[in-house]
């Protein structure tokens, strides 16, 4: 499986909360870091945090950048029930076909803060 197929399948498993499929992506002693909340997880802790999270989710990969030892992805995840969306920038460090280290930065999607809107700065990307 090439890196592009790998990334798409990984994010499908994340959105579908497929515990066993996700486990297979990781080295048994892999680590996951969520820098925005200063948390590091073992694979089992990550599976619990992802797969036991309430709701029904959809996800799509917006960008994949192969690197020497892995890849970087940008993905959007959507809560089907509320319509809330989130973006994740993820840095994958691979050992063979498995993730040794996954470092992620998650952000809530939403409008610009009111102070920027008042200054009429920027414009919508989409």
d(CA 5, CA 2): 5
What is the average per-residue pLDDT within 39-55?
Answer: 96
Name the band, by pLDDT with cuts 50, 70 and 90, for residue 125: confident
Fold topology of 3-118: Nuclear Transport Factor 2; Chain: A, (3.10.450)
Residue 1 has pLDDT above 80, yes or no: no
For 88-98, what is each residue's pLDDT tens digit?
999 999 999 99
Share of the chain above pLDDT 90, in %: 94
Tell me how far apart the alpha carbons of residues 113 and 59 are, in angstroms, rounded to a whole number. Answer: 25
- Which pTM does this prediction carry? 0.92
Once rounded to an integer, what is the mean pLDDT over residues 12-20?
96
Average pLDDT over every residue of 31-48:
98
């Amino acid at each position: 499986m090439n890196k592009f197929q790998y990334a798409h399948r990984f994010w499908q498993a994340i959105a579908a909360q497929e515990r066993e499929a996700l486990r297979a992506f990781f080295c048994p002693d892999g680590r996951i870091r969520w820098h925005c909340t200063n948390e590091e997880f073992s694979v089992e802790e990550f599976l619990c945090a992802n797969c036991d999270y309430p709701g029904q989710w959809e996800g799509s990969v917006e960008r994949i950048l192969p690197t020497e030892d892995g890849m970087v992805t940008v993905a959007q995840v959507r809560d089907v029930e509320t319509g809330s969306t989130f973006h994740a920038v993820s840095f994958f460090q691979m050992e063979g076909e498995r993730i040794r280290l996954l470092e992620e930065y998650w952000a809530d999607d939403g409008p610009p803060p009111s102070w920027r809107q008042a200054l009429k700065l920027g414009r919508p990307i989409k």
